[in-house]
């Protein structure tokens, strides 16, 4: 695999771009692996990369039923932030943000991470108090966080609707280090870097069953044959329950819901931040891509579904929110909209944990927030698989937390998966 550097760019520029090698191999499955990661999305690929890089476990396969990055990796709004306050969540997402800051160098692949600031508007004194509490907790942990008053906000983003009488904008809670990244590049970058370290990425390889012996999973049956693995990791958010039941493990504190995202036609530079119309108002988030398209999204479709297909009432709802906050978008045309299937959990937080089967490990339950979590998710999932015990940051992100009463519920919405935003 040819490294990306100035020398190679010049060399290939002079040679008609003929010396580049392919980005990752397309190997046949081996009979045995030390670790099999099921799911070739961002989390699965990141896990394989950190297993090889941090723990020197290189006999690893990533098994993907379609093509890598073809699921939720390509069905999100690419927002990266770490504005969480619950113990465990906060440290985890902050570490993730730190990994994002150096990811392009680490992977030798430009993931186009842009720290353009994440601006959460608030619309009532109560919402301001609530968000101040969260952002103060962030500051106490050393994360950047600030409040912008109306004067500053108007200067920074002059074209918001400041005359909205239903939800007047009073100011914004801002994380400047937050921003967004290029979603495909993250999948390709992790795949390329993991492959370089010896990881096999097996695409078009659907898991169809498991062979159990002595309470352990001995091998994975796939559409490309039976593959033996000493350790198995699930990283298939959206379809976790399906695999979980295939392994005859029963029920999970997860429901699958679909979340839509939208992209408009390209316009000239209009918005230089990620803006969220969310604290004490509607639920709407928007940014502008490098191509100029407005990328935005809102709430879930509100009913359980495995269909990667959005429904119309939410299109209307999101369009209304867009008009309420950004009336200048009124005549812009929508290019595409799509839906991804989310693992919505009972407290809105994720799982990186061991399971009732001793050589099976679970990475699931990413709710709305899987994209930004990918680097740390891979990091701590690899750590769990390699060291057999969870890191202190994810020690409560397990399936037992509900029985123990240590739910990690940022929003305080209770055990209804669709309510955790």
Partner 1 sequence: MIRINCPYCGERDHSEFSYGGDATIKYPSLDSSEKEWTKAIFFRKNIKGFQLETWHHTNGCRMWLEIERSTVTHEIRSVKPCHPDLKKVVENNK
From the list 10-18, 49-57, 192-200, 252-260, the region that binds partner 1 by CB under 8 A is 252-260
Interaction of residue 415 with partner 1, rule CB under 8 A: yes
Nearer to partner 1, 253 or 297 (CB): 253
Distance CA(57)–CA(178), nearest Å, equals: 32
Q: Does 338 bind partner 1 (CB under 8 A)?
A: no
Binding-site string for partner 1 from residue 373 to residue 402, where x marks contact by CB under 8 A and - marks none: -----------------------------x
Q: Which of 306, 320, 323, 327 binds partner 1 (CB under 8 A)?
A: 306
Strands (E), 326-382: 334-345, 351-354, 360-364
Question: What secondary structure letter does DSSP report for 177?
Answer: T
Task: Rank residues 22 and 304 by Cβ distance to partner 1 and give the closer one.
Answer: 304
320 binding partner 1? (CB under 8 A): no
Exactly one of 155, 268, 312, 331 binds partner 1 (CB under 8 A); which one?
312
Angle at 169 between CA 131 and CA 145, to 5 degrees: 35
Q: Does 256 bind partner 1 (CB under 8 A)?
A: yes
Q: Quick one: 115 or 311, whose CB is closer to partner 1? A: 311
Beta-bridge partner residues of 18 = none
- Options 120-128, 141-149, 236-244, 269-277: segment touching partner 1 (CB under 8 A): 236-244
Rounded CA-CA distance 240/221 in Å is 17
**55, 74, 283, 302: which one contacts partner 1 (CB under 8 A)?**
302
Separation between Cα atoms, residue 370 and residue 71, nearest integer Å: 12
Determine the Cα angle at 21 with ends 20 and 23, to 5°.
110
Cβ neighbours around 289 below 10 Å, total: 17
Taking CB under 8 A as the rule, does residue 252 contact partner 1?
A: yes
Q: Is 18 in the site for partner 1 (CB under 8 A)?
A: no
Taking CB under 8 A as the binding criterion, the range among 94-102, 161-169, 244-252, 358-366 that sits at the site for partner 1 is: 244-252
Least Å distance, CB 404 to partner 1, is: 9
Cβ contact 280:124 at 8 Å: yes
DSSP state of 410: S
Q: Does the footprint of partner 1 cover residue 412 (CB under 8 A)? A: no
Count of CB atoms situated within 10 Å of the CB of 55:
15
Residue 419 tokens read as 């309510």
Report the residue number, 229 or 340, with the smaller CB distance to partner 1. Answer: 340
C-alpha distance from residue 69 to each of 42, 64, 190 (Å): 7, 9, 10
Q: Give the residues lining the site for partner 1 (CB under 8 A).
A: 239, 241-242, 245, 250-256, 302-307, 311-313, 346, 402-403, 415-418
């Amino acid at each position: 695999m040819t490294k990306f550097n100035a020398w190679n760019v010049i060399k290939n520029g002079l040679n008609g771009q003929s010396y580049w090698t392919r980005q990752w191999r397309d190997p046949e499955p081996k009979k045995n692996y030390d670790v099999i990661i099921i799911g070739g999305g961002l989390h699965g690929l990141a896990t394989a990369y950190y297993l090889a890089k941090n723990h020197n476990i290189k006999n690893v396969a990533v098994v993907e039923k379609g093509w890598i990055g073809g699921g939720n990796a390509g069905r999100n709004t690419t927002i990266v932030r770490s504005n969480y306050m619950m113990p465990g969540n906060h440290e985890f997402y902050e570490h993730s943000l730190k990994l994002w800051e150096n990811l392009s160098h680490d992977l030798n692949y430009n993931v186009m991470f842009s720290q353009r600031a994440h601006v959460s508007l608030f619309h009532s004194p109560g919402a301001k108090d609530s968000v101040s509490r969260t952002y103060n907790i962030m500051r106490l942990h050393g994360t950047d966080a600030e409040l912008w008053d109306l004067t500053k906000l108007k200067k920074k983003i002059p074209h918001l609707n400041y005359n909205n009488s239903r939800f007047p904008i009073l100011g914004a809670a801002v994380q400047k280090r937050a921003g967004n990244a290029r979603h495909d590049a993250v999948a390709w970058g992790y795949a390329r870097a993991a492959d370089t370290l010896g990881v096999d990425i097996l695409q078009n390889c659907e898991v169809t069953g498991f062979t159990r012996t002595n309470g352990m999973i001995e091998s994975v049956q796939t559409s490309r044959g039976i593959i033996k693995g000493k350790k198995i990791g699930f990283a298939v958010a959206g379809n976790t329950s399906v695999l979980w039941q295939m392994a005859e493990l029963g029920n999970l504190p997860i429901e699958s819901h679909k979340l839509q995202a939208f992209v408009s036609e390209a316009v000239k530079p209009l918005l230089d931040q990620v803006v969220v119309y969310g604290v004490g108002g509607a639920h709407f988030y928007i940014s502008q891509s490098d191509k100029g398209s407005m990328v935005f999204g809102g709430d879930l479709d509100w009913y359980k579904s495995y269909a990667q297909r959005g429904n119309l009432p939410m299109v209307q709802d999101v369009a209304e929110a867009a008009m309420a906050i950004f009336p200048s978008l009124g005549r812009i045309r929508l290019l595409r909209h799509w839906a991804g299937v989310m693992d919505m959990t009972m407290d809105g937080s994720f799982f990186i944990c061991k399971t009732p089967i001793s050589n099976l490990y679970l990475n699931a339950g990413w709710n709305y927030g899987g994209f930004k979590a990918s680097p740390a998710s891979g990091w701590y999932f690899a750590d769990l698989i390699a060291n057999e015990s969870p890191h202190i940051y994810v020690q409560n992100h397990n399936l037992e937390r509900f029985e123990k009463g240590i739910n990690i519920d940022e929003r305080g919405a209770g055990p209804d998966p669709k309510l955790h935003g």
